[in-house]
Structure 1
Amino acid sequence: MINQAIKKSIKENSDEMISIRRKLHSEPELSWEEFQTSQFVYEYLTELGIEARKMEPTGVVAELKGGKEGKTVALRADMDALSVEELNTDLAYKSKELGKMHACGHDVHTAMLLTAAKSLVSIKEEISGNVRFIFQPAEEVATGAKAMVEQGAVKDVDNVFGIHIWSQSETGKIACNSGPAFASADIFKIHFKGQGGHGAMPQDCIDAAIIASSFVMNVQSVVSRTVDPQQSAVVTIGKMVVGTRFNIIAENAVIEGTVRCFDPATRNHIEKQLKIYADHTAAIYGGNAEVEYIRGTQAVINGEESAQLVQEVAIEAFGESSLYVEKPTMGGEDFSFYLDEVPGSFALVGSGNTEKDTQWAHHHGKFNVDEDAMIIGAELYAQYAWSFLTK
């Protein structure tokens, strides 16, 4: 199953891969602003002889046609950075952009997939079928994958595979379990309206601060008392804006939060319950509520056959000890939009190493990656494509 030429190519090009990653890390671009990154990716793929096309506004899709007829497998990497200030100030390749940073490893994903593409070009004539490379913008705002799908990124694709570097597990470890991997991730915003007035005359007012506070204190019972305990779900209030001055009773209050779960029926139920709780809470105090519920990513559900193939590839390429079981996370990942269209799976590749200080959580200002993990990720990309098309 494992192609030794792929393994050799990736090892030979590992220094270049790290150099690419460091370049991208120092030049981070936010969601839907990945113009330089996508241009670099496009030019790199074109120089490899892979037919590439730019997507609107900042995506890139390329396809390597093998020497023999066969199926088409897609490999995906995301490219966008975050609005995070880098705290690793001693890095030679630290971010040059104030307040912007690759704090989630998308620079690593891009570099790994480019290197995987280079290794597959080296065995092009042996490939039975086609390998499509998807370089996606705007994963961090959960809209990039959907836009890529709408532009045909997985049209006529038989299988899709993605990787996320994972600082919570140690370098050299790989997880890809069938079933739920990442939760659906939705956003809600609730505007409570009361009646403002002087802080010394509460009898003439309807205090929006009280309404919103009451809602925040009670909304957790949506999960604890209306959702089946065997169905995982999280409701989090992350932002609350209320009032204008210390001695004015607030007329308006706005809260924002997120809902995470794996089951579509649970998702529908929570959305409905949030509106019921908001309306009833506001009514108790004589105010009213407007609820905006925005559906973000779907849950990432790994296909059984695809996840099994990832495990087989990992064992043969890196040894049985490389595999571990990662519990499903309530984090969101818009790779789910590809899985809505075609079968596939999403793997985690460990990059945590306390000796190199790369154990920091994703989205943290000190997030960094053990670059030894990149060889594993690049090979997993390429060997998965080879194995899927060979089978």
Structure 2
Amino acid sequence: MSREFDADLPGDSGDAVLPVVLPGVLSEELRAELVAFRRDLHMHPELGHQELRTTAAIKARLERAGLAPRVLDIGTGLVCDIGVGEEADGPAAPMLAMRADIDALPIPDTKSECGYRSTVPGRAHACGHDVHTTVVLGAGLVLAELARQGALPRPVRLIFQPAEEVLPGGASDAIESGVLDGVGKIIAVHCDPRVDAGRIGLRNGPITSACDRLEIALNGTGGHTARPHLTTDLVTAAAKVATEVPMLVARRIDARSGLAVTWGRIESGHACNVIPQHAELSGTVRCLDLEAWRQAPDLVHAAIDEIAGIYRAKSEINYVRGVPPVVNEAGVTELLRDAMMARRGVHSVEDTQQSLGGEDFSWYLEQVPGAMARLGVRVPGERTVRDLHQGDFDVDESAITVGVELFTAAALLDAARS
């Protein structure tokens, strides 16, 4: 089922009106299948680089649709092209890629009344990756049917990426496996529990932040608390590093960059009257600005050494590069905006703010232009404030249909504009 959509598309002022055939409402059968698929993933969450069952389930469904998915070289995750070989003679046009992340989180599912709770202790799809995966799968099934009918103007690539929650993220591994070869643009969604189902949030430019991991070991001479002058006084040194380094770093870079060092763990000592020889701190470094993120390691190293040196503590620093900010490209952002408006109307898109969360979708955008939309998953009218990475996280499953419509419309609009 399809419908004609003729309109002056935003961003194309002065161009001729583009007649675009968009897929119609998803059949009840496909809707039910996608909800069931998402619930199955939700019940069987797998951590990064362990997504064997998830990979097999996606692969089996794509193969049933007559497609030929390829498991990535790293052993989990897949890439699948739709419509390849059916395009006109001549050089192949760059493809539009759709990316989903497939891993879960190492936290327990705490939903009390839910028939599809996680069956794996200490594991949960508490970030919506089961929804992202189902959206890309559903879009792939719709587009595969269009390709079978000869109605898909240009090939599309599906990317099911493992290990998004593992720094520095599975995106780099996927890119090394060749998932961006022949790709001209890439799009993705991320669940947002602050946006109503039926709507998406968009932002041109940075929409997430950079996120790195920081681990510090401090070492020195220990001793009795009665004679701190004869020791390195590591507990005090660790406390000063914890409190002074974030402030020092913030004063050495433009405040508008939003560079922030935040600790999640500090550990030292075992007795009240013994100054220890070892202390550890770990946390994250987040940054709103791409250029400041590139300067962050040198700034953080220098600040740690400076503060630790005051107390004669020797520092060992493990600075793990995570992800740069996701920076939405203007043209692809408008493509998503226009696709959503075409399917759901002008009130289905809202502006969104840059968050301090990290997302390894950013690594794809270092290679090709792309954009990420925030997919509304809140039940309209619900007043309960929910957040990601919590054990009771859940979604309004109508968001799956919205995501499928968004991606299929984007693929067709992109082909029509080229």
TM score, norm. by length of structure 1: 0.95
Report if aligned partners of 1:302, 1:345 keep a CA contact under 8 Å in 2: yes
Question: What are the within-5 Å matches in structure 2 for residues 46-195 of structure 1?
Answer: 46-55=63-72, 56-65=74-83, 67-69=86-88, 70-124=93-147, 125-142=150-167, 143-195=169-221
In the other structure, the counterpart of 2:411 is 385
Give the SS at the match of 2:257: coil
Change (3 A) 1:307 1:334: same
CA distance in structure 1 between the aligned counterparts of 2:155 and 2:27, rounded to whole angstroms: 19
* 1:89 positional shift: 2.5
Deviates more, 1:241-250 or 1:365-374: 241-250
* 1:228 positional shift: 1.2
In the other structure, the counterpart of 1:203 is 229
Amino acid at match of 2:69: A
CA distance in structure 1 between the aligned counterparts of 2:246 and 2:315, rounded to whole angstroms: 18
1:375 aligns with 2:401: yes
CA distance in structure 1 between the aligned counterparts of 2:299 and 2:250, rounded to whole angstroms: 12
In the other structure, the counterpart of 2:323 is 297
* 1:29 positional shift: 0.5
Over the residues paired in the alignment, what is the CA RMSD in angstroms?
1.8
CA distance in structure 2 between the aligned counterparts of 1:122 and 1:160, rounded to whole angstroms: 21
CA distance in structure 2 between the aligned counterparts of 1:374 and 1:34, rounded to whole angstroms: 21
Report if aligned partners of 1:178, 1:301 keep a CA contact under 8 Å in 2: yes
* 1:222 positional shift: 3.1
In the other structure, the counterpart of 1:271 is 297
CA distance in structure 1 between the aligned counterparts of 2:200 and 2:358, rounded to whole angstroms: 19
1:40-83 C-alpha deviation (Å, 9 max, x unpaired): 10111011011111112101111111643343111111110001
CA distance in structure 1 between the aligned counterparts of 2:308 and 2:345, rounded to whole angstroms: 58
In the other structure, the counterpart of 2:389 is 363
* 1:199 positional shift: 2.9
TM score, norm. by length of structure 2: 0.89
Report if aligned partners of 1:180, 1:301 keep a CA contact under 8 Å in 2: yes
In the other structure, the counterpart of 2:32 is 15
Gapped regions of structure 2 (runs ≥ 5): 6-19
Give the SS at the match of 2:24: helix
Report if aligned partners of 2:249, 2:300 keep a CA contact under 8 Å in 1: no
How many residues are matched?
391
Change (3 A) 1:345 1:118: same
Deviates more, 1:317-326 or 1:190-199: 190-199
Identity %: 32
* 1:257 positional shift: 1.4
In the other structure, the counterpart of 1:341 is 367
